Amino acid sequence: MDRTLKAMSLLLSYPTAELQSAMPEIGGVLAAETRLTAAARRDLRPLVEALVGRDLYDLQEDYVMLFDRSRTLSLNLFEHVHGESRDRGEAMVSLVETYRDGGFDPISTDLPDHLPVLLEFLATRPAPEAREMLADAAHIFTTLAKRLEKRDSPYAAIFAALRQMSGVEADAEAVAAMLQLPEDDPTDLAALDAIWTESEVTFGPDPNAGCPQVRDLLAGMDIPVTQAPVAAE
């Protein structure tokens, strides 16, 4: 078990009292991680301290406003790749099959591409395999880090750390293209309802599809989806 990836999965999960209780141990794991630079470890401290010391309801409200009400900060990675296209459902099915092939059965109501779920899976995989899959999403991590920095959010540090864990530099053109997409206003509930309205997608094994290699699951991540802004009603 890669304890650092597991710790990062927990940090990006919805804040709970149980998470707050576990933060001293989680913080210790991150502080001892030699794959991160001293600066990256230091930058993670404000997030660890916030999750320990802030009021739980305030933490939960901030989390929802950031990750649930802002599509451009979505923790569902395929959202940044495929948007609502048919390819997203097919990619999701492939990811589910890979989880099953690896003996991983997430106990979660989140989508398979939800980053905390993916990190929990990668924590169980050999280091080279986990690093390759993180590398495919490096420019997404960099983009999310930059967006969160603009909001003065301590969560920015964990995305910067994930990019560092990937062992690669993010594609500058892909990052620039993603940053050109308009940011969501999490207080505009009418517009957000319109954006998030989508048809049901069912995820399950495809009898006609093989199980792709892990590296192929996030193929195409260097081609961000350009979505037209949705006007508020």
| CA dihedral sign, ordered 174, 178, 137, 100 | negative
Q: Scanning the structure block, which residue is given the tokens 């406003």?
A: 65
Q: Which residue(s) pair with 76 in the sheet? A: 114
pLDDT band at 109 (very low <50, low <70, confident <90, very high): confident
In a domain, residue 232? The reply is: no
Instruction: Tell me, yes or no, whether 233 lies in a domain.
Output: no
CA angle 4, 10, 16 (to 5 degrees): 150
Whether 221 maps to a domain, the answer reads no
- Mean pLDDT over all residues of the chain? 82
Residue 114, strand partner residues? 76
Mean pLDDT computed over 122-139: 95
Note whether residue 48 is domain-resident: yes
Domains held by the chain: number = 1
Residue 14 makes CB contacts below 8 A (sequence gap 6+) with 60, 63
- Lowest-confidence region among 129-138, 154-163, 221-230: 221-230
Whether 226 is in a domain gets the answer no
Domain membership flag for residue 185: yes
Residue 58 lies in a domain: yes
Containing structural domain, residue 149: 3-216
pTM above 0.85, yes or no: no
Q: Is there a domain that residue 222 lies in? A: no
Residue 151 three-state SS? coil
| Predicted pLDDT at 193 | 55
